[in-house]
Structure formats: C-alpha cells, structure tokens
Amino acid sequence: MEDSQKIHILSRELISVFDELEQETKEVVLEHIHDCSECKQLFNELADGSYPMLERSEEVEIKPLKKLVQFNHGLKWLFISIRALILFYILFSSFHFYNWELSADAALEYIKSVTFMFYFPVAIFLTVFTMIFFTKRWITLSILFDLGIIFFLDTFMSIFY
C-alpha cells in the first residue's frame, strides 16, 4: 500500500474528529483534503452538519459478555441460597425448640415472629438488589415468593401439623 493511500485512509477516519486533532495533524489532513476530491466532499458534508450514512456490510450478532452473564447467574444463586438458608434456620429452630405435638400454636407463633424478625429485612434488602441487577420478571418472582413466605409460612406449616 502506498503512502498516499495510507494518508487517504487515515484522513477519512480523522475528518470526523477534525476539531479534536492537534494542529500538525490538522495541517496534514487539510493538505490531503486540498488534493483529494472525495475527502473534500466528506469534509464539507461534515462541516455542514449532514453526516453521510455509511452502509453496513452485514449484521453482526453481539454476544453477551461471558463474565457478566456468569456474574448474573452467581447473584441469582446467591440470593436464592440466602433465602433458603434463612428458611432452613426458621424451620429447623422451630422444630428443635418446640414439641409440635404438645405446643403447635407456640411453634407457629415462633415461626411468625422469627419470619418477621429475620426474613422480612433480608427480603427487603434482596429485593432492592434484585431491582438493581435483574429484570422485571425476577423482581416480580422474588417479591411474590417473599410475600408468600412472610404471610403464609405459618399457615403452610399448620397444614402439615
């Protein structure tokens, strides 16, 4: 490739950012514009504010960033795991500290109070993060799941005992 072709290619690229160029580079581009009618036309079109439309040779599929997708999946599993661990703690402690045959009502009250004390604040915290990182579908699912646990966990447990 000859030097004149290289300068032509570089000038075509630099014309769009002509105002940000240093003075020496501007002089080289202006010298080329003076000699090249194609670049002169492009420079005049850009100076008028009408940008020429460039043709797309083919559509390129943009693949999602692999690390971002992995991070997103990791966060989903982390949020699900936190909810599961708290539910496990609530149910395990209710079975461990109460005899369900003798005091099922006390155990259900314990489940209500511990759910409100532990699960409710964590659910709010995780819902805020879900709103930041995930889609509306995940927000809706997490809110519905959390409301179901907060309002109906004791009812669900009373059905089994």
57 assigned to some structural domain: no
Question: Is the CB of residue 130 less than 8 Å from the CB of residue 68?
Answer: no
What's the pLDDT score for residue 63?
A: 62
- The answer to whether position 118 is within a domain reads yes
Q: What is the pLDDT of residue 50?
A: 53
One domain, residues 71 and 97: yes
Q: Is residue 27 part of a domain?
A: yes
* Domain membership flag for residue 37: yes
Q: Are residues 40 and 73 in the same domain?
A: no
Q: How many residues does the chain have?
A: 161
pLDDT of residue 62: 54
Q: Are residues 44 and 70 in the same domain?
A: no
What is the total count of domains within the chain?
2
Angle at 147 between CA 144 and CA 148, to 5 degrees: 85
Tell whether 154 is covered by a domain. Answer: yes
CB 89 within 8 A of CB 139: no
76 and 11 in a common domain: no
Domain of 96 in residue numbering reads as 66-160
Angstrom distance (rounded) from CA 120 to CA 114: 9
- pLDDT tens per residue across all 161 residues of the chain: 787 788 888 888 888 777 778 888 888 888 888 888 888 888 888 777 655 444 444 555 556 667 787 888 999 999 999 999 999 999 999 989 888 888 888 999 999 999 999 999 999 999 999 999 888 999 999 999 999 999 999 888 888 77
Residue 55 falls inside a structural domain: no
User: 137 and 98, same structural domain?
Assistant: yes
Position 38 in a domain:
yes
pLDDT for the residue numbered 61: 58
Residue 56 resides in a domain = no
Instruction: Give yes or no: residues 83 and 152 share one domain.
Output: yes
| Statement to judge: residues 36 and 83 lie in one domain | no
- Would you say 118 and 130 are in contact if contact means Cβ atoms under 8 Å apart? no
> What's the pLDDT score for residue 59?
54
pTM of this structure: 0.57
Is residue 125 a contact partner of residue 118, using CB atoms and an 8 Å limit? no
Predicted local distance difference test score (pLDDT) of residue 56: 46
Q: Does the CA dihedral 92-94-99-104 come out positive or negative?
A: negative
Whether residue 71 sits in one domain with residue 32 = no
